[in-house]
Amino acid sequence: MKPVIQTKNLTKSYGKTQVLKNIDLTITEGEFTAIMGPSGSGKTTLMNVLSTIDKFSGGDVWLEEQSLLDLNKKALRTFRQERMGFIFQDYNLLDTLTVKENILLPLSLRKFSTEEMEKRLRPIIEALGITDLLDKYPTEISGGQKQRTASARAIITNPAIVFADEPTGALDSRSATQLLEQLSHLNQAFQTTILMITHDPYAASYCKRVVFLRDGGIVNELYKGDQQQKDFFDRILTIQSAMGGNQR
């Protein structure tokens, strides 16, 4: 599998405070990876740097084997729009657009044909179970349905990677489980590469790999392999407890 993201000796500082310290990380095609760590460990900063929202201070980052150091602002913006998808905790849907219009918005802005948009839309909404919501507005659907709509919008551009920032944080346990099952299905059915920031060991247990941060550095990694989800959850919980992380 090709690497989607690679970092080498990645550092990030704000003034004299070093937030990320010599991060070496590779995310390959088709991975579903969680980044975990206690508050202040640097996980949100890492996501912001990897998604080109924030600049890094040292080292290097490669996106699809292209160094960010070689890309100007316009190229970075184009890469972010065309090769990245984003799922945020607060959904970021437009209330004046229907569910369908929200999902198709990234393609509409890029002047895709109606035929191509419909072709891409169908398998995604079926996989996420939101076929019957297309004509509704965000104010008319539940939090879980909003997050599934946001997930559909994130992957409809066929991005190289989807960044999910605490996607279950605003959901009840039932809606969170439904979303995680559907993200796992998207990962398996479409080989969508997903990098998820989470504090929740239950959410992380749906991933294939968990990377643990503490004080700005990677301190541990777990791979699910052939393990049952409950066994993987128990391993995650053990490490998180040893690190002093929050438990949900």
Nearest alpha carbon to residue 207 among 1, 50, 34? 34
Between CA 91 and CA 170, with CA 237 as vertex, the angle to 5 degrees is 15
- pLDDT band for position 248 (cuts 50, 70, 90): very low
At CA 175, angle to CA 170 and CA 177, rounded to 5? 110
The torsion angle over the Cα atoms of residues 248, 37, 196 and 174, rounded to 10 degrees, is: 0
Mean pLDDT in residue range 4-16: 96
Question: What are 58-86's pLDDT values in tens digits?
Answer: 999 999 989 999 988 898 988 888 899 99
- For residue 245, the model assigns a pLDDT of 52
User: What mean pLDDT do residues 214-232 have?
Assistant: 96
pLDDT over threshold 90, residue 144: yes
Q: What is the dihedral of CA 72, 24, 183, 98, to 10 degrees?
A: -20
At 84-137, the pLDDT tens digits run 999 988 899 999 999 999 999 999 999 999 999 999 999 999 999 999 999 999
Q: pLDDT tens digit string along 41-61?
A: 999 999 999 999 999 999 999
Nearest to 156 by CA among 134, 178, 181, 135: 134
Q: What number is the average pLDDT over the span 152-178?
A: 93
Averaged pLDDT score across all residues of the chain: 93
DSSP 31: -
Handedness of CA 27, 151, 123, 111 (dihedral sign): negative
Contact 198, 212 (CB under 8 A): no
